[in-house]
Structure formats: structure tokens, C-alpha cells
Structure 1
Amino acid sequence: MLTPLDIESKEFKRMPLGYSIDEVDRFLDEVIESYEKLYRENIELKDKIAMLNEGIQYYKTMENTLQNTLILAEKTAEETKNSAYQKGEHIKREAELKSHELIQQARAEVFQIQQSIEHLKNQHEAAKTQLKYFLQTQLELTNQSNFMDMNFTTIENTNKKTTLEEEYNDDMKETSEIGFYDTQDFMSTKLD
């Protein structure tokens, strides 16, 4: 490619009856000026193109980085979502197991309480029956005619002297030491 300097330094042979030297020089000056302007613009445009190519390369690199980042973010989001789902399922299973366990424990406790209540009712009924029998026995003793004649003195029982009060206290002591026992046992003890 010709440079403006090539055009400016170009010399032509002189010939008789040729072109006017002044006109050729003026024209060449215009051509040089125009060509120099075009040449500078061309260099500027090449520099701009190079700069734009660098920018394009930068943006392509950035685009690749963004795409990789986006892919990584999507992958991470998916992994996080899956992890959260699995964690949630695990927590849900643990909560269900724990609630089932608590329900079973509560049912067992209710059953034990019901058993205790039933046992206490049975003990209460046995105590009532024993007390009723004891009171009937005492009432029968007081109703006997010879009871009043005894003057609340000692009674001989198998070569042993005890008072009615001592016998009553012994019976009560025996009842409290043994606990409330079955009515039939109490009755058979009394009848003996």
C-alpha cells in the first residue's frame, strides 16, 4: 500500500509537450492530502477495530465466566434444594417417630394409671368390707347380754388375760401391719 510519503516523493520524467507541471503538482498535493487523511483514518479505524476486538474478547470471556457461574449456581441451587428436601424428609420422619413414641408412652402411662385406679378401687372395697365386718362383729359383741355384765374386765383366752381394748388394738395393729387383705382371709382369721 502506498504511503503519503511515497506519493509526495514520486517524480515524473519531463517531456516536451507533456502535462503542466504546476497542475500536476497541485493535483498531487490534493491527492497527497486526501490520501494522508484516508491513511490516518484507516490507521485509527484499525486501532478502533483492535480495541473493539479486545473488548469483544473481554466480553466473550466474561460471558463464558457468567455462563459457568450460572451453571454452577444452578447446580448449587439444585444440590441445596435436594439437600434441604432430604433434610426436611429426615426431620419429618424423626418427628413422626418421636410423636409415635410419645403417643405410645402416653398410652402406656394411661394404662398404668387405669390399672392403679382399679387396684385402689379394689383395695378400697376390701377395706370397706373388712371394716364393715369388723364393725358388725363389734356390734354383735356389744349386743350380747353377757357383754354388759363383764364390767369391761379381763377376759380369759387360752390361759392369757387380755382386755377387750387390747384385743381391739391387736386387731387394728395386725390389720395395719399386714395391710388390707382379702375379705375371706380376714373372715377366716376372725372365725378361727
Structure 2
Amino acid sequence: MPLTPLDIHNKEFSRRLRGYDEDEVNEFLDQVIKDYEIVIRENKELHNQLLALQEKLDHFANIEETLSKTIIVAQEAADEVKNNAKKEAQLIVKEAEKNADRIVNESLAKSRKIAMEVEELKKQASIYRARFRTLVEAQLDLLSQEGWESLDSTRDRSFEPEQSREVKEIY
């Protein structure tokens, strides 16, 4: 067990003949007591400082651990947000591709339908033209026949004025 200043102060030495000067020894012991008290006090202060620094170190270690965990959580959250954004972007792209395909398919279908309608209209126009040509040719053939001239000469004599007006309206 270490000595205390009180142990030093209470220490009694035995006396001998021709021993040390008692006052000198007492002065020296008083000086040792004072120095020893100073050393003990400094030791206590250093010990208290050590405890305070240890508490701070523990506190900062705690903060460091918390920050590390926070950084890990933040990184995981960032990764999750990034992954979700990628997934969402892929879904948007897929949907846009589907819409584009649908629009292209609808446009192709409309284009085919319009092409078929155009072809049908061309056929109908061709048929109408052929029929019209046939009708006109038939009318021209009818007009080129010989019987028309005789109708012109009889018309002037046999029709009354009212009948003549009706015929003119027809032409």
C-alpha cells in the first residue's frame, strides 16, 4: 500500500547515539510531505482529466458509430432510391414502347384501310367511267342512226305550238 502524507508525518524514528539531527530530519520530512501532497494532488487531477477525456472519447466514439450507421443507412436509402428510379424509368420506357407500337400498328391499319378505300374508289371510278363511256357511245350510236332526220321534218308539221314547247323543254 502506498504511503500517504499522514504516514510520513506520523513516522517516528528510533533514537541512537550519534544519530541524525532531529530538526534537520523533521524539516526534510516536512518538505517530502509537501512534495508528496503536491504529487498526489496532481495525480488526482490527472486522473480526473483522464476520466473526462475518456468520457469525451467515449462520446466521440459514440458519435462516430452513430455517424457510420447514419452513413450506411443513407447509402442504403440512396441505393434504394436509385434502384427504384431505374425500375420506374424502365417501366416508363416499356410503356412508351408499347404506346409507340400501338400507335404504329394503328397507323399501319389506318393506312391499309385508306389504301384499300383508294383502290375501291379507283375501281368504282373506272367502272363508272366505263359505264358512262358505254352510255355516251350508245347515245352517239342512237344519234347517228338514220331515223332522226325524218323526225325533224315531221315535227314541224304535225305538232301544235303547245306540243312543240314540251319537246323543246325535253331537249
Could you state the TM-score of these two structures normalised by the residue count of structure 1? 0.70
Task: For 1:116, give the aligned amino acid.
Answer: E
CA distance in 1, matches of 2:11, 2:137: 161
Q: Quick check: 1:15 aligned with 2:7? A: no
Percent identity between the two aligned chains: 32
Measure how far apart 1:65 and its partner are. Answer: 0.9
- Note closer, same or farther for the CA distance 1:29–1:165 as it changes in structure 2 (3 Å cut): farther
CA distance in 2, matches of 1:109, 1:49: 88
Which residue of the partner structure matches residue 102 of structure 1?
103
CA distance in 2, matches of 1:64, 1:109: 66
* CA deviation profile, 1:89-115 (whole Å, cap 9, x unmatched): 222221222121111111101101101
Task: For 2:26, give the aligned amino acid.
Answer: D
CA distance in 1, matches of 2:151, 2:50: 142
Measure how far apart 1:139 and its partner are. Answer: 1.4
Q: Quick check: 1:92 aligned with 2:93? A: yes
> What CA RMSD, in Å, does the superposition of the two structures yield over aligned residues?
2.7
Which residues of structure 1 form unaligned runs of 5+? 154-161, 169-192
Which residue of the partner structure matches residue 57 of structure 1?
58
Q: In proportion to residue count, which structure has more helix?
A: 2
* CA deviation profile, 1:132-165 (whole Å, cap 9, x unmatched): 1121122122222322432396xxxxxxxx9697
Task: For 2:128, give the aligned amino acid.
Answer: A
Task: For 1:15, give the aligned amino acid.
Answer: R
Decide whether the 8 Å contact of 2:9 with 2:29 is kept in 1: no
Task: For 2:109, give the aligned amino acid.
Answer: A
- Note closer, same or farther for the CA distance 1:145–1:31 as it changes in structure 2 (3 Å cut): same
Measure how far apart 1:7 and its partner are. Answer: 5.2
Which residue of the partner structure matches residue 121 of structure 1?
122
Runs of 4 or more consecutive aligned structure 1 residues displaced over 6 Å after TM superposition: none
Measure how far apart 1:53 and its partner are. Answer: 1.0
Task: For 1:41, give the aligned amino acid.
Answer: E
Which residue of the partner structure matches residue 142 of structure 2?
141
Could you state the TM-score of these two structures normalised by the residue count of structure 2? 0.77
Task: For 1:45, give the aligned amino acid.
Answer: L
Q: How does 1:1-192 map to 2 (within 5 A)?
A: 1-4=2-5, 6=6, 9-10=9-10, 12=12, 15=15, 17=17, 18-151=19-152
Measure how far apart 1:8 and its partner are. Answer: 6.7
